[in-house]
Structure 1
């Protein structure tokens, strides 16, 4: 397939000599995911920003993070990433799969990161996911006649390096020290100044370790919190579970639909989620948080079911870990409110980057470190602590690593279908093997999730009072 017509026209008009580099096939004979391929080969990618004045094109290396604030300083504007619908319309109008990494490809004002000029040869996103454009560095510089060359990115690799959980407390304290410019209090829990666990959450945690706990004990706790009770009943009554008849009570939800273990962990996850508030609206607001929690919990539920019984982890722990996987973003919104809007803007402008890398760029610490530390302070199960802390590290080998790996796989599969923040990448066969999970069964689980989008959105909306 040739490069898009407008790209070919632009290259020809500037007498640019170029070659085509085809996207390779993976082990399953599928094209390597576009985000992953650009990153693997160090190609240049293009990002579309906009404000009330109009659109701006930005070209950076795919292995770097776009600094939106730097762009706005250069142009004295208030740009942020074009929305998903606007980007789709732009690409369809120009017959692109993605925005080509060529200046003025659609007649837009273009900023080019100066790091690209240091390369002798460059691979550029062609706008077609099946191939890249290869040009010599001097040829690329010919395209910059009307572009603004400036420093607008930072390398991703240092931001993605996991320092190990032993350094979490020191890094969190350092981030808070830099943030507040105040002396760090002696205890992390006091430093974070987070609300204490609710009475409901504390009672559920105690119930979790009580070997004699039964359905009546759990129902009694949930029923004392009207909001929580309504959410659990709504979850059980949702079309996703297709429960026969009307759900009339918490006891009914436990016995007929969800089961003791699931309601216990669902109630705990919901109670913790209500402990901290966050912005009610926006792409990083309360509704997207609950949408991610619901999709992840449902996906984890399906993946664990697909694992043979001899290798299957605790269903309840896996489900709770999935429901809480994004808990660190709540803490960020609470502890670092002035930086949260900046974080949201960078997430929108860097869809090729994990949120954790953006957090380390802004704060020097990421959500997984903060969430794992807080879960320890709250005496949550070790499975949850490990799952949240190491969810970005598929190579983690410690005890309870299976919970972290399940989240990693679930997030990657959901991202491939446009659900969740971060790049679209393939899941290695070795990771499926470690989980004793067949790839086709995992993909069938995701297909079921996609088919149930309306039902899952209904659950998320019910959890979001805003």
Structure 2
């Protein structure tokens, strides 16, 4: 007989499948432990399930949440070329069976099933029950019986292996990836090999202006006005209801003096100029926020978080804001340098929504977007604060000079991801990071809640940049 606690309802479809297979199970209610779902599943090494599909039909895959699914290995196992089913495609299934996710039960709905072999090495397993707050606890013998008709194979990579730091320099890692994954002839210098565009002229002029002690509002306005597209974007930004400017913004001078200020317009213009340097990729992971939406929300989040830090501990506002705008620039570089493999990265991200994108990229290419963005920013002689922020935005333990900028990006993205904005799993912000930034967690969360409350205005700004 099942050992379930009847006060915790398991979806009827899940209960029937367990009873048909005569599985003894216990329901682990995790709704009160306070941990975010993605973090909880990983910490427990719980089994999670996803669906791959092609013209022939669907295949269920079951892996541990502390692993990354290797789609290529799964496809090779059954001799097909499948891609992950999106939540939209699965919604009718969720609605019909009253589920929040795919339960980690093999042979669900009669689908052929692949099970990663690592799950058979665990004495007691926790399985995603298909609801947000419950896990099924089963013994290894029961799970082995459940997967008797499934294909047990090696299709996953432990995340702890991917999190090991590289012993090479970033440039060496990029060189190796380019040599392995592109048909480019390697020249003596990496920048000559890749033939990436030079730093835009507008950006060059803004950087020079930044270090000019005599620069004034007119100088900045003159630079922005020479680029009609950029000028329109800055005026549009200042005119947004998000900034509640009184009256109509008629010029760049107006935008600077009445709304945004010199420092913000300088960094906003620089970020927008760089963002337009590379083309937006035609492919992309399904269900992921568009590039400019992530940029706008992250910049706004960083802006708010800096303000929430006591004045004596605040990082430079301009550098923080610019880092927020450019935080995902490496995504554009990935698409530019590795077009044939960019599609594989996107499919792996879709299949591994529980895994941070930089680990997916490391698995597929051996290099990630943060390394690429930091390298190019350094090549373009961008401010060191931005170079460090982009490189270390997913490494909160980094303690070198300017580390606070990377930590700010880390906090901003984690808090946005918790609310379904920006790409990545829902994971907690360690208390130590808040302490190092002198940032009160409650104030940080209130800041992000206020930003989400302004979603219409921010989406409008992002939509104009995407046009």
Matched residue of 1:124: which SS? strand
User: CA 1:182/1:291 → structure 2, altered by over 3 Å: closer, same or farther?
Assistant: closer
**Aligned 8 A contact 1:287 1:464 in 2:** no
C-alpha separation in 2, matches of 1:411 and 1:78: 33
Q: In the alignment, which residue of structure 2 is the partner of 1:432?
A: 434
Q: Under a length normalisation based on structure 2, what TM-score does the superposition of the two structures give?
A: 0.93
Q: Measure, in 1, the Cα distance between the counterparts of 2:319 and 2:39.
A: 31
Q: 1:19 aligns with which of 21, 26, 37?
A: 26
Distance 1:456 1:296 in 2: 11
RMSD: 2.0
In structure 2, relative to structure 1, the CA distance for the partners of 1:163 and 1:310 (3 Å cut) is same
Contact residue 287 and residue 461 of structure 1 kept, 8 A: no
1:398 is aligned to: 400
Residue aligning to 2:83: 80
* Structure 2 equivalent of residue 326 of structure 1: 328
| Poorly superposed stretches of 4+, deviation over 6 Å | 284-287
The CA deviation at 1:52 is 4.5
Q: 1:32 to 1:286 in 2, by over 3 A?
A: closer
Match of 1:9 in 2: 16
- CA distance in 1 between counterparts of 2:401 and 2:31 reads 36
**Which stretch of the first structure deviates more once superposed, 323-332 or 5-14?**
5-14
In 2, Cα distance between the equivalents of 1:252 and 1:61? Answer: 55
Do 1:280 and 1:287's aligned partners in 2 also have CA atoms closer than 8 Å? no
Residue of structure 2 equivalent to 1:69: 72
| Paired residues for 1:202-351 under 5 Å | 202-280=204-282, 282-283=284-285, 288-351=290-353
Deviation at 1:115?
Answer: 2.4
Distance across 2 between alignment mates of 1:134 and 1:160: 28
Between 299-308 and 274-283, the greater mean CA deviation after superposition: 274-283
* Corresponding residue of 1:353: 355
Partner residue of 1:137?
A: 140
Distance in 2, Cα, partners of 1:40 & 1:397: 25
- Decide whether the 8 Å contact of 1:297 with 1:323 is kept in 2: yes
For residues 367 and 394 of structure 1, what CA distance do their matches in structure 2 show?
A: 16
What secondary structure sits across from 2:290 in the alignment? helix
Q: Does 1:122 align with 2:125?
A: yes
Deviating more after overlay: 118-127 vs 398-407: 118-127
Per-residue deviation, 1:379: 0.8
Q: Using the alignment, how far apart are the partners of 1:404 and 1:352 within structure 2?
A: 22
Distance 1:397 1:455, change over 3 A: same
Q: Which stretch shifts more, 318-327 or 138-147?
A: 138-147
In 1: Cα distance, 2:227 partner to 2:369 partner: 28
Q: For 1:148 and 1:132, how far apart are their aligned partners in 2?
A: 23
CA contact (8 A) 2:126 2:136 kept: yes
Residue aligned with 1:304, SS = helix
Q: How many equivalent pairs are there?
A: 460
**2:115 aligned residue:** 112
Deviations 1:31-70 (A, max 9, x none): 2111101111111111133345443321111111112233
Q: C-alpha distance in 1, partners of 2:274/2:286?
A: 18
1:373-452 correspondence runs (5 A): 373-452=375-454
Cα distance in 1, alignment partners of residues 395 and 86 from structure 2? 29
The answer as to whether partners of 1:432 and 1:439 remain within 8 angstroms in 2 is: yes
1:92 counterpart = 2:99: no
Deviation of the 1:360 alpha carbon: 0.6
| Secondary structure in structure 2 of the residue aligned to 1:157 | helix
Contact 1:300 / 1:318 at 8 angstroms: preserved in 2? yes
Determine the C-alpha separation between the residues in 2 that align with 1:289 and 1:181.
Answer: 27
Change (3 A) 1:409 1:287: closer
Secondary structure of 2:115's counterpart equals strand
Bigger shift: 347-356 or 436-445? Answer: 436-445
Specify whether residues 374 and 285 from structure 1 end up closer, same or farther in structure 2 by C-alpha distance, changes over 3 A only. Answer: farther
Residue by residue over 1:412-463, the C-alpha shift from the partner in whole angstroms, topping out at 9 and shown as x without a partner, is 1111111122111111222212111111111111111211112111111111
Deviation at 1:216, TM superposition (A): 0.6
Change (3 A) 1:90 1:214: farther
Q: 1:108 deviation in Å?
A: 3.0
Ranges in structure 1 where 5+ consecutive residues have no aligned partner: none
Q: Distance in 2 between matches of 1:418 and 1:78?
A: 29
1:159-204 CA deviation, whole Å, 9 max, x = no partner?
223337x721111111111123665322222122211111111111
Shift of 1:259: 0.8
* Partner Cα distance (1:136, 1:445) in 2: 44
Cα drift, residue 268 of structure 1: 0.5
